[in-house]
Every structure is written in C-alpha cells, then in structure tokens.
C-alpha cells in the first residue's frame, strides 16, 4: 500500500502528517524534520518519498497547489482509471487554518530572506495547528484499520 499526504505544499503540513503517521513525530518540535520548508523539493511536481512504516506501507507527500480537494478527486480518478484501488493508493488531504499564508511565504524570493521567513512563519502556524494535523492522521489510521 502507498499513502500520499497532499496539501498546498508537500514540505509543510503534509510532511508533518507523514512523519506523525510514521511514528517519527509526537510533539510540535518539527522544525528540523528532514525537508521541512525545503521548497526545492516541491518544485519538481513529483511526490516526495518520506519513508515506510512497520507494515511496509510507503508514505509520500505531494504539493498540489491551492485546490487540495479538487486535486484529491483528480488523483483518485487517475488511480481508478489506471486500475488501482484505495487499498493500493490512499490519498489523504491535509489542511490547516493559515495554509494560504504558508504557501505565500514559501514563494517569497530567497534573496529577500524567503527561506528564513518561510521557516519562521510555517513553524509558528503549524505548531499552533499541530493538533489538527494529528487528528487528520488519527482519522486516516482508523479508516486504514477498517479496510483490513
């Protein structure tokens, strides 16, 4: 099984959700998570491999831009057209209040302090929304248990 956490970027709240899912993150001390706020990974447009859990489920993140729910529907339709099932690929959107500000800061030019601004603002917002991300992951884990 593959699990893809999607959000407006793949290196902010989707990355935090993936690390919570993998059991690597239990509190909002995530600023030093590998790849956090690294927008260069997002620019490729490809899913970012985060790791594998103890049940051999591969976990990815993907930044899909502004309309996360439309992207979810599109990815699910593509999955179905290609003949895969939800047991093979789960697509989980991750949304938090303030995500549009995170997206804005992640696009700020590096030469004008963009990397620092991105990390500062994202860390502040996501620490305050950590419980929302945890709840998203818990809900997914519950649905995965029901699948088996």
CA 23 to each of CA 18, 42, 45, 135: distance values in angstroms, whole numbers, following the listed order: 9, 23, 26, 14
Residue 29 has a pLDDT of 87
The dihedral through the CA atoms of 34, 134, 8, 84 has a sign that is positive
Q: Is the pLDDT of residue 141 over 90?
A: yes
Residue 44 has a pLDDT of 82
pLDDT interval class at 47 (50, 70, 90): very high
Q: Is the pLDDT of residue 74 over 80?
A: yes
pTM comes to 0.93
Domain boundaries, the chain: 2-147
Dump pLDDT digits (tens) for 79-98.
Answer: 999 999 999 999 999 999 99
Residue 31 has a pLDDT of 64
C-alpha–C-alpha distance, residues 31 and 57, integer Å: 25
Residue 50 has a pLDDT of 97
C-alpha–C-alpha distance, residues 114 and 46, integer Å: 22
Mean confidence (pLDDT) of the chain: 92
Extended strands (E) in 38-117: 48-52, 58-63, 89-93
């Amino acid at each position: 099984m593959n699990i893809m956490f999607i959000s407006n970027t793949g290196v902010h709240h989707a990355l935090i959700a993936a690390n919570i899912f993998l059991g690597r993150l239990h509190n909002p001390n995530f600023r030093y998570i590998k790849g956090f706020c690294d927008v260069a990974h997002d620019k490729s447009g490809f899913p970012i491999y985060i790791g594998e859990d103890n049940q051999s489920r591969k976990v990815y993140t993907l930044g899909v831009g502004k309309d996360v729910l439309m992207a979810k529907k599109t990815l699910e339709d593509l999955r179905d057209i290609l003949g895969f099932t939800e047991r093979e690929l789960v697509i989980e959107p991750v949304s938090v209040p303030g995500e549009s500000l995170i997206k804005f800061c992640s696009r700020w030019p590096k030469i004008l302090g963009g990397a620092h601004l991105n990390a500062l603002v994202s860390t502040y917002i996501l620490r305050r929304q950590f419980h929302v991300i945890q709840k998203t992951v818990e809900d997914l884990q519950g649905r995965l248990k029901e699948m088996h």
